């Protein structure tokens, strides 16, 4: 039918259909007309046979009116009584009648046939006549018994009157068939036309729907975010491929499943899950809801940071469910955290630069007077040494003056002055005091120089630098962090070659490791000073720096997190968790080196830095 409607000449087919059907009906009815003529002729023959058998073959009538027995014609129907052994030769049977009489066996048998005589159609009907009780009155002497076949009644029916009466019916039948053909053809073509128009509309609508369906499917499949359609019961009725990728569940696994059971994360102490509450409220008031920082549950059990939007969906004016779109914001959160870390690191760098500039200025201001102090102390030392020589001469002179009695009062006064001044103590302690002061001034000068070198911004490009000097300066700068909790020992290789590095950044990384070691020893609280050992040596084509502390070691459950930004085991306010992360960034990312640690709980930790001797710029 669909193919028929698709053709251009669709209207021909119903006309041909009804034409064939009308022709078949006309042929069938024409044949039925022929059959009905024979049926009518046979029916008239049967009626005549019964009428003659019951009324005209009567012994009394035969006696009183013998002519009625012979032959009569009624309304184009004639009859005669026949026998195989007639008493009257006129009642003899012809060949067809004799053959029929021989075949009769019981009441109800008959024979029917048609013949044409001189162009006229005739129908012949013959039925049997059996001997009855009344027949024996006349035929008893003929050795006839009741039930014997005596003969038959032969009826002749003219066919032309029957044909004439059916001619009008045949014409009406042909006319009705033709009228029916026209009516049915017209009606069929009309309805076919209407059906074709409807089919074309349906086809066009179907094609449009298919196009829209394909378009929407392509759109949802191409979406870079998860797309779910939930019915009013919260069951997932549609899911796009991106939601399959984000959540781990296959589309056919999600469709037909309850969303909150499949995806929503259980919030401790909450009667409704957050996303379940958002869906429920959206279904209640029809308002769109958005959550920028939430988590969904992946098929493997892990939690995925997401942002999602829930909006209501209608079918006409009826609420059909909600549409939920969501994005994985892991990278965005990671980028935000990285940006935050970089901002903190940049702030820290700015602070360090500010502190460095301040320290450089202070160092410059301290350096000049400390040089005066150092130079004056050295002058005092030299002067005291000269005065010591002079005092020795005076001592000899005083011993000689004691031999002169005239000078004894003066000698005695000098001796009292010497005792009051405690000259012997001054001769012993003053040089020590001056030496210690000179050493202290030299130490201040070294610290000031280390601060100046550490605070110097230097260049962002790599250059050859003395790594031992960088270690010494870093240790000196952070001395205040370790001097109360540990003693520091430097085991620096004398033959250490210069390293191609960014000195300022590498100094910052080593300082962070030393400070971290001091804090580890302080947290261990052994009740006595710990020890920080810093060593340097060449290992293959790398320079290795090891910072070892005698702290409590790093617990196994946190070892994998120590280099994570903002991770710290210290109390709130005691650390930012950036020291080791910054050190790793400086060593690994900027110098293509290695930073790793070895630790033993209760014994201590060693952080090892390995820097290639030749580091190419990235």
pLDDT at 532 over 70: yes
Mean pLDDT within 189-195: 74
What is the torsion angle, in degrees rounded to the nearest 10, for the CA atoms of residue 16, residue 20, residue 25 and residue 31?
150
The answer to whether the Cα torsion of 510, 514, 516, 517 is positive or negative is positive
Q: For the chain, list the domains and their CATH numbers.
A: 12-166 (3.30.450), 225-328 (3.30.450.20), 333-457 (no CATH), 458-612 (3.30.565.10)
- Give the three-class secondary structure for 99: helix
pLDDT at 573 over 50: no
Lowest mean pLDDT among 128-132, 143-147, 517-521: 143-147
Mean pLDDT within 43-55: 81
pLDDT band for 533, please (50, 70, 90 cuts): very high
Tally of CB atoms within 10 A around 307: 17
The secondary element (H helix, E strand) that includes residue 92 is: none
pLDDT at 346 over 70: no
pLDDT (0 to 100) of residue 560: 79
pLDDT at 286 over 80: yes
Structure tokens at 135: 């027949």
What is the torsion angle, in degrees rounded to the nearest 10, for the CA atoms of residue 464, residue 470, residue 473 and residue 476?
180
pLDDT band for 543, please (50, 70, 90 cuts): very high
What is the reported pTM?
A: 0.38
Buried b (16+ CB within 10 A) or exposed e, 32-44: eeeeebbebbbeb
CB-based contacts of 264, cutoff 8 Å, min separation 6: 273, 274, 275, 276, 296, 297
In angstroms, the CA 437 to CA 416 distance is 30
- Asked if residues 534 and 546 have their Cβ atoms less than 8 Å apart, the reply is yes
Structure tokens at 421: 């001044």
Structure tokens at 195: 């059906």
In angstroms, the CA 447 to CA 424 distance is 35
In angstroms, the CA 45 to CA 41 distance is 6
pLDDT (0 to 100) of residue 126: 92
Mean pLDDT within 485-504: 87
321: left (phi over 0), alpha (psi -120 to 50) or beta: left
- Asked if residues 131 and 140 have their Cβ atoms less than 8 Å apart, the reply is no
In angstroms, the CA 206 to CA 192 distance is 20
pLDDT (0 to 100) of residue 386: 73
pLDDT at 596 over 70: yes
Query: Where do runs of H (alpha helix) occur along 478-602?
Result: 479-482, 503-524, 579-584
- Asked if residues 538 and 552 have their Cβ atoms less than 8 Å apart, the reply is no
Tokens 């120089």 identify what position?
Answer: 449
Residue-wise pLDDT for 71-123, tens only, equals: 455 667 888 888 887 877 878 888 888 888 888 878 788 898 888 888 788 88
Which of 59, 76, 77 lies closest to 68 in space, CA to CA? 59
In angstroms, the CA 64 to CA 112 distance is 32
pLDDT at 322 over 60: yes
Residue-wise pLDDT for 366-415, tens only, equals: 666 766 677 777 777 777 777 777 777 777 777 777 777 777 787 778 77
In angstroms, the CA 450 to CA 535 distance is 19
In angstroms, the CA 493 to CA 471 distance is 12
Q: Which residue has the higher pLDDT, 538 or 566?
A: 538
């Amino acid at each position: 039918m669909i193919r028929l409607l698709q053709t251009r000449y669709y209207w021909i087919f119903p006309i041909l259909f009804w034409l064939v059907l009308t022709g078949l009906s006309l042929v069938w009815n024409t044949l039925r007309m022929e059959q009905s003529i024979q049926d009518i002729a046979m029916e008239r023959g049967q009626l005549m046979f019964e009428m003659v058998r019951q009324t005209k073959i009567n012994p009394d009538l035969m006696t009183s009116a013998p002519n009625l027995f012979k032959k009569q014609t009624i309304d184009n129907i004639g009859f005669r009584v026949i026998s195989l052994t007639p008493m009257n030769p006129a009642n003899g049977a012809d060949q067809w009648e004799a053959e029929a009489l021989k075949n009769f066996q019981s009441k109800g048998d008959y024979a029917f046939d048609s013949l044409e005589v001189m162009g006229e159609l005739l129908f012949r009907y013959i039925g049997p006549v059996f001997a009855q009780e009344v027949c024996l009155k006349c035929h008893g002497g003929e050795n006839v018994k009741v039930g014997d076949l005596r003969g038959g009644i032969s009826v002749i029916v003219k066919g032309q009157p029957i044909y004439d009466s059916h001619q009008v019916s045949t014409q009406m039948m042909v006319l009705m068939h033709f009228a029916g053909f026209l009516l049915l053809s017209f009606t069929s073509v009309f309805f076919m036309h209407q059906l074709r128009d409807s089919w074309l509309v349906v086809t066009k609508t179907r094609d449009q729907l298919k196009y829209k369906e394909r378009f929407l499917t392509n759109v949802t499949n191409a979406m870079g975010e998860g797309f779910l359609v939930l019915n009013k019961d919260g069951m997932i009725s549609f899911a796009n491929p991106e939601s399959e990728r984000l959540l781990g569940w296959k589309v056919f696994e999600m469709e037909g499943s309850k969303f909150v059971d499949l995806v929503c994360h259980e919030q401790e102490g909450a009667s409704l899950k957050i996303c379940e509450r958002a869906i429920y409220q959206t279904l209640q008031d029809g308002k769109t809801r958005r959550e920028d920082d939430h988590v969904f549950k992946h098929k493997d059990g892990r939690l995925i940071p997401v942002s999602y939007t829930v909006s209501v969906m209608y079918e006409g004016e009826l609420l059909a469910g909600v549409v939920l779109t969501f994005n994985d914001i892991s990278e965005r959160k990671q980028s935000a955290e990285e940006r935050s870390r970089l901002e903190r690191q940049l702030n820290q760098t700015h602070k360090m630069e500010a502190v460095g500039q301040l320290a450089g200025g202070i160092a410059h201001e301290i350096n000049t007077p400390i040089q005066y102090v150092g130079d004056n102390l050295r002058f005092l030392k030299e002067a005291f040494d000269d005065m010591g020589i002079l005092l020795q001469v005076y001592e000899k002179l005083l011993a000689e003056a004691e031999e002169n009695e005239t000078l004894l009062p003066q000698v005695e006064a000098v001796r009292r002055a010497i005792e009051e001044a405690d000259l012997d103590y001054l001769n012993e302690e003053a040089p020590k005091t001056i030496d210690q002061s000179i050493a202290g001034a030299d130490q201040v000068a070294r610290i000031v120089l280390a601060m100046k070198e550490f605070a110097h911004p230097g260049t962002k490009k790599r250059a050859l630098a003395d790594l031992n000097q960088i270690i010494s300066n870093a240790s000196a700068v952070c001395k205040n962090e370790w001097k109360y909790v540990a003693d520091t020992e430097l085991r620096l290789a004398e033959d250490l070659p210069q390293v191609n590095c960014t000195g300022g950044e590498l100094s910052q990384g080593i300082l962070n490791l030393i400070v971290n070691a001091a804090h580890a020893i302080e947290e261990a609280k052994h009740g006595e000073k710990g020890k920080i050992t810093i060593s340097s040596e060449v290992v293959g084509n790398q320079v290795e720096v090891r910072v070892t502390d005698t702290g409590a070691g790093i617990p196994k459950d946190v070892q994998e997190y120590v280099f994570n930004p903002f991770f710290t085991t210290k109390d709130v306010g005691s650390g930012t968790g950036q020291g080791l992360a910054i050190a790793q960034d400086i060593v690994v990312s900027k110098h293509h080196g290695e930073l790793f640690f070895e630790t033993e709980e209760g014994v201590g930790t060693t952080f090892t830095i390995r820097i290639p001797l030749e580091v190419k710029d990235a």
